[in-house]
Amino acid sequence: MLTVINAIHVFGPLHAAWMWGLEHDLPQGWATLLGAIIGLGVIAWQARTGFRHLIRSQEHQANLQRELDKESHRREAAVLAAALRGELLAGAYALVRRSGWLEAIEKIIDDAAKNPQGKFYSEIRIEGVTTPIYDAQASRLGLIGASLAADVAQVYGSIKSQFLLAASEAGRDPKLAKEFVEVQLNLSKVFSKDVLHVCKRLLAFETGTPEDDPGILVEARKVWLIPSPRGTSLTFVYPLWNFAAMQTLEERAVLVLAVSGDSYPIRTVTSYNWPPALEEHHGGRAYCGSRPL
């Protein structure tokens, strides 16, 4: 149909020029030339119009493709956010179980402390939460945006942390072990609140409701900082110390987390020999040692 219409548009002016030439006694050659010029003009106009439509069509197709790519990117980011949220919720449950285990250890330490000569010999080892989804997808955190990715990386770093109060052949004051446990209980509570906060952020991103985003973690954490046994605030845990190269207990170095009474971060981190330098130089107020990830 379009071909017929185009043919009429092309040959109509040519036929009109031919008839006008005959009516005005123009030589046949001039009439043919005049008709050809008119016909070529029409063809050029049609070609220009066709190219214009083609360009518009290509622009429209490009816009549609950009929208499809944007939606695909959005779905991919939402799936990643959902997977991370599920794994973090599982991590929160693991922290709850850790707290129950630490409370049981604390009761054992309290029993040992009832004897004035009582000593605590065992190690207390706290393993980090396993995070296979995060480990596999960490390189794709950029999909969820810089602010949310920073909070996600922060909470994963917290729940993956490992801590160790080394065994003591000579035994140590149960009070020191109790302080270690109390600090770990407080850390677990802080980590749990951090995880739930970031899960809310992930859910807001996943559902496309930014108005439900509770905000960045560093601001929210000011609300739930938990006092330590000495009335200060635990707010940050430094990277873990390497015990692997240490051969004997005396050679091992321990990170002392000197807790700041200010908001954050922790004011000082010092290494001491273990034992008895910790109690000698820090008044027995060491909070915890650590081991490599």
- As a whole number of angstroms, the distance between CA 220 and CA 124 comes to 31
- As a whole number of angstroms, the distance between CA 209 and CA 135 comes to 27
Give the number of other Cβ atoms within 10 Å of residue 179's Cβ.
Answer: 21
290 found inside a domain:
no
> Looking at 63, 89, 112, which one is the last position of a domain?
63
Q: Is residue 84 located within the same domain as residue 197?
A: yes
Average pLDDT value for residue range 146-169: 90
Between these two residues, 30 and 107, which has the higher pLDDT value? Answer: 107
Q: Quick: pLDDT tens for 279-292.
A: 333 333 333 333 33
Pairing of strands 268-273, 253-258: antiparallel
252 found inside a domain:
no
For residue 107, the enclosing domain spans: 74-237
pLDDT at 167: 83
275 found inside a domain:
no
254 found inside a domain:
no
Query: Domain total for the chain?
Result: 2
- Estimate to the nearest angstrom the gap between the alpha carbon of 146 and the chain centroid: 8
Between these two residues, 56 and 274, which has the higher pLDDT value? Answer: 56
Ramachandran bin of 215, using left for φ above 0, alpha for ψ from -120 to 50, beta for the remaining angles: left
As a whole-number percent, the residues of the chain with pLDDT over 70 amount to 62
- As a whole number of angstroms, the distance between CA 105 and CA 209 comes to 43
pLDDT at 274: 34
Q: Which of 256, 210, 211, 259 is nearest to 234 (CA)?
A: 259
Q: Is residue 119 located within the same domain as residue 190?
A: yes
Q: Is residue 130 located within the same domain as residue 231?
A: yes
Q: Is 200 a residue whose pLDDT tops 90?
A: yes
Q: Is residue 34 located within the same domain as residue 166?
A: no
Q: Is residue 204 located within the same domain as residue 97?
A: yes
Of 60-64, 70-74, 187-191, 237-241, the poorest mean pLDDT is in 237-241
Grade residue 173 by pLDDT with cuts at 50, 70 and 90. confident
262 found inside a domain:
no
| φ, ψ of residue 251 in degrees (nearest 5) | -80, -15
Q: Is residue 197 located within the same domain as residue 56?
A: no
Element (H, E) at 133: helix 132-137
Q: Is residue 48 located within the same domain as residue 84?
A: no
Q: Quick: pLDDT tens for 83-117.
A: 999 999 999 999 999 999 999 999 988 888 888 77
pLDDT at 209: 93
Q: Quick: pLDDT tens for 243-277.
A: 333 333 333 333 333 332 223 333 233 333 333 33
Long-range contacts of 263-267 (CB under 8 A, 24+ apart): 263/222, 263/225, 263/233, 263/235, 264/221, 264/225, 264/233, 264/235, 264/236, 265/235, 265/236, 266/234, 266/235, 266/236, 266/237, 266/238
Q: Is residue 158 located within the same domain as residue 229?
A: yes
Q: Is residue 129 located within the same domain as residue 226?
A: yes
pLDDT at 196: 94
Between these two residues, 229 and 178, which has the higher pLDDT value? Answer: 178
- As a whole number of angstroms, the distance between CA 262 and CA 279 comes to 24
